[in-house]
């Protein structure tokens, strides 16, 4: 994104993803969400005197898995460090993280942009760290509070932090990057990815590069917007930062390197209190944990267990005849892609399956707020419905009605057709009677048709469909009507 004053937008992201393990990073406390405050705690995650961390190896596996999926090198030796700062949600007065030697380095994510363009975003590193607790203030913030409550259930939950290079060029690209990242992660079963519960949070860095600037990007004044909790808010924060920095530059000012927070209420960023921002974290190697060693065979096993990921899946779907838009929609959602795979495995026609999945089924799922994985109409049931259409037992219109009933009742398409007698009537003898009756009852329409008004044919088809409660095969009715009308002598 180049602004009209020639400045280029430079964005890098740090994405914090809470990993879905049964227990916390350094103790055996459950990682249950929504437990009563301070009940999922123990001496370790409370930071009691004398307690020591024990590393949860499942976290290591999930972090390596995420790294592999993002094309990173997984380091066979990495190390934990302490990041020291005071905050009431941080029970030990330091966070155990990986500073000098993260577990994964140097990967990339290819982000689809508009018009089939792609932005390659380098992943500089992925490291493991522990989550802090939760504060509830009586008042606006910690500093203005008349009282604050501390809940340490969340303290010590495992996180990975994914750090990109400053490769993104607009808030829109940031949005696409985050959506692509979330969809890749959603295939890995490493995180619940619940935005509203804070299982993904983002720190966004933004600089404006003036035209003609030839130095290193690191030398640009960078503003970090901390702790933004949804993709929408990240985009809003970045857009607001572009405007703000632009205004500063236009007024002849200099953008200060600083840390800002995002205010959801106003949709703007605000400077953070210097007390909160100005920190020397005094990193040093965590003496309570040995260097983390990974067996190469463990990494290779994990690599082999990786599923097909969105980029490859998109290509595969396009190869099967999907449009790139359809492929993007289905590939972005593991539920959808697994669903499609199973429908096709049942022998359904690809085009028909995609049309129905993204059309009527998607509508029903949206209304019910459920995903493909939890659809009351499973892949086999949909395939059966599509089969009945292909056989001519159901028309498209009927099939839609049957799908609605399947969705509501969970019954199979065949059972619904059987119970309601909704099968399509293709029997020529039956339909010939109805066609003749319609011709007899609507002489005006017949005359119109013979006078060259083609629309009159549609009216007559409609009459037959009405008389058969929609069950007549539109193809057969059309053919019979045309034959009968053609057999009548021309009007002039």
Partner 1 sequence: MSMREAESAAVVVSSVQRGDRTAVSVVSAALARIEETELRLHAYLHVRREAALAEAARLDHEAPSARAQKPLAGLPVAVKDNLVLAGAPTTAGSKILEGYHPPYTATAVARLQAAGAIVVGKTNLDEFAMGSSTEHSAYGPTKNPWDVARVPGGSSGGSAAAVAAGTAVVALGSDTGGSVRQPAAFCGVVGLKPTYGRVSRYGLVAFASSLDQVGPLARTVSDVALVFQVLAGRDPHDATSVDSPVVGRLATAPSRLAGMRVGLVAEQADQAGPETRQAVAEARLALMDLGADVVDVALPHGRYGIPAYYLVAPAEASSNLARYDGVRYGLRVAGRDVAELYLNTRGAGFGTEVKRRILLGTFALAEGYYDAYYLKAMQARELLAQDYRQAFQAVDVILSPTVPDPAFRLGEKLADPWSMYQSDIMTVGANLTGLPALSLPWRVAASGLPTAVQLTAPWLGEERLLLVAAALEALRPGGEAWPDPLASPGTSGQGGARP
Residues that bind partner 1 (CB under 8 A): 43, 46-55, 82, 84, 86, 88, 91-94, 142-143, 148, 150, 275, 280-284, 287-290
Q: Which CB atom, from 33 or from 87, has the smaller least distance to partner 1?
A: 87
Q: What are phi and psi of 306, to 5 degrees?
A: -70, 135
Rounded CA gap, 240 and 222, in Å?
A: 15
- List the one residue out of 206, 200, 224, 221 whose CA is nearest residue 277: 224
Cβ of residue 201: shortest distance to partner 1, in angstroms? 22
Q: Which CB atom, from 54 or from 350, has the smaller least distance to partner 1?
A: 54
Give me the torsion for CA of 181, 314, 60, 102, rounded to 10°.
-50
Within 13 A of 79's CA, how many CA atoms are on the CB side? 12
Q: Which CB atom, from 53 or from 378, has the smaller least distance to partner 1?
A: 53
Q: Which CB atom, from 136 or from 451, has the smaller least distance to partner 1?
A: 136
Cβ of residue 277: shortest distance to partner 1, in angstroms? 14
What share of residues in the chain are helix, strand, coil (percent, to 5)?
40, 20, 40
Rounded CA gap, 351 and 331, in Å?
A: 16
Query: Which residues 6+ apart lie within 8 Å of 166 measured at CB?
Result: 10, 11, 12, 205, 207, 217
Cβ of residue 224: shortest distance to partner 1, in angstroms? 17
Rounded CA gap, 248 and 271, in Å?
A: 14
Cβ of residue 52: shortest distance to partner 1, in angstroms? 5
Q: For the chain, how many residues are written?
A: 492
Strand partners, 285: 81
Rg (CA), the chain: 31
Residue 314 near residue 111 (C-beta atoms within 8 A): no
Q: Which CB atom, from 92 or from 176, has the smaller least distance to partner 1?
A: 92
Rounded CA gap, 131 and 227, in Å?
A: 13
Cβ of residue 50: shortest distance to partner 1, in angstroms? 4
Q: Which CB atom, from 33 or from 283, has the smaller least distance to partner 1?
A: 283
Burial class from Cβ neighbours inside 10 Å (0-12, 13-18, 19+) for residue 346 reads middle
Cβ of residue 405: shortest distance to partner 1, in angstroms? 57
Q: Which CB atom, from 88 or from 267, has the smaller least distance to partner 1?
A: 88
Q: Which CB atom, from 90 or from 403, has the smaller least distance to partner 1?
A: 90
Cβ of residue 87: shortest distance to partner 1, in angstroms? 8
Cβ of residue 269: shortest distance to partner 1, in angstroms? 23
Cβ of residue 51: shortest distance to partner 1, in angstroms? 7
Within 13 A of 277's CA, how many CA atoms are on the CB side? 15
- List the one residue out of 356, 355, 358, 350 whose CA is nearest residue 332: 358
Q: Which CB atom, from 286 or from 360, has the smaller least distance to partner 1?
A: 286
Cβ of residue 286: shortest distance to partner 1, in angstroms? 8
Q: What are phi and psi of 258, to 5 degrees?
A: -160, 170
Q: Which CB atom, from 247 or from 291, has the smaller least distance to partner 1?
A: 291
> What does 175-195 look like in DSSP terms, one character per residue?
HHHHHHHHHHHHHHTS----G
Residue 205 near residue 223 (C-beta atoms within 8 A): yes
């Amino acid at each position: 994104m180049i602004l009209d004053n020639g400045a280029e937008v430079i964005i890098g992201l740090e994405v914090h993803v809470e990993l879905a393990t049964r227990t916390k990073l350094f103790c055996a406390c459950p990682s249950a969400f929504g437990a009563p405050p301070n009940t999922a705690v123990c001496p370790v995650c409370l930071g009691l005197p004398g307690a020591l961390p024990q590393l949860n190896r499942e976290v290591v596996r999930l972090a390596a898995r995420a790294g592999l999926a993002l094309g990173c090198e997984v380091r066979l030796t990495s190390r934990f460090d302490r990041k020291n700062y005071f905050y009431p949600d941080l029970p030990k007065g330091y966070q155990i993280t990986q500073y000098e030697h993260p577990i994964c380095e140097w990967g990339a994510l290819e982000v689809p942009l508009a018009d089939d363009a792609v932005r390659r975003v380098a992943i500089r590193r992925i490291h493991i760290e522990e989550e802090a607790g939760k504060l509830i203030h009586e008042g606006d913030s910690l500093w203005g509070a008349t009282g604050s409550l501390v809940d340490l259930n969340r303290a010590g939950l495992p996180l990975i932090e994914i750090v990109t290079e400053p490769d993104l060029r607009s808030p829109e690209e940031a949005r696409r990057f985050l959506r692509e990242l979330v969809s890749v992660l959603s295939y890995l079963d490493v995180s619940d990815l619940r935005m509203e519960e804070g299982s993904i949070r983002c720190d966004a860095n933004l600089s404006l590069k003036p035209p003609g600037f030839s130095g290193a990007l690191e030398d640009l004044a960078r503003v970090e917007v901390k702790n933004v909790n949804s993709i929408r808010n990240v985009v809003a924060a970045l857009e607001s930062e572009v405007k703000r920095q632009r205004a500063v530059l236009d007024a002849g000012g200099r953008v200060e390197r600083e840390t800002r927070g995002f205010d959801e209420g106003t949709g703007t960023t605000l400077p953070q209190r210097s007390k909160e921002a100005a920190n020397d974290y005094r990193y040093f190697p965590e003496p309570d944990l040995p260097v983390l060693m990974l067996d190469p065979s463990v990494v290779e096993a994990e690599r082999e267990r990786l599923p097909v990921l969105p980029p490859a899946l998109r290509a595969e779907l396009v190869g099967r005849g999907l449009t790139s838009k359809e492929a993007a929609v289905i590939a972005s959602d593991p539920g959808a892609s697994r669903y499609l795979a199973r429908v096709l495995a049942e022998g359904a026609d690809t085009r028909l399956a995609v049309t129905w999945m993204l059309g009527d089924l998607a509508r029903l799922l949206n209304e019910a707020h459920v995903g493909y994985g939890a659809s009351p109409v499973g892949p086999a049931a949909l395939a059966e419905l599509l089969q009945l259409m292909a056989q001519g037992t159901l028309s498209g219109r009927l099939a839609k009605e049957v799908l609605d009933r399947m969705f509501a009742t969970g019954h199979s398409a065949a059972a619904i057709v059987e119970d309601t007698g909704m099968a399509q009537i293709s029997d020529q003898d039956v339909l010939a009677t109805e066609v003749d009756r319609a011709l007899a009852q609507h002489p005006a329409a017949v005359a119109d048709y013979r006078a060259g008004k083609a629309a009159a044919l549609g009216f007559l088809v409609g009459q037959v469909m009405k008389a058969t409660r929609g069950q007549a095969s539109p193809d057969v009715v059309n053919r019979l009507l045309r034959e009968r009308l053609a057999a009548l002598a021309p009007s002039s």
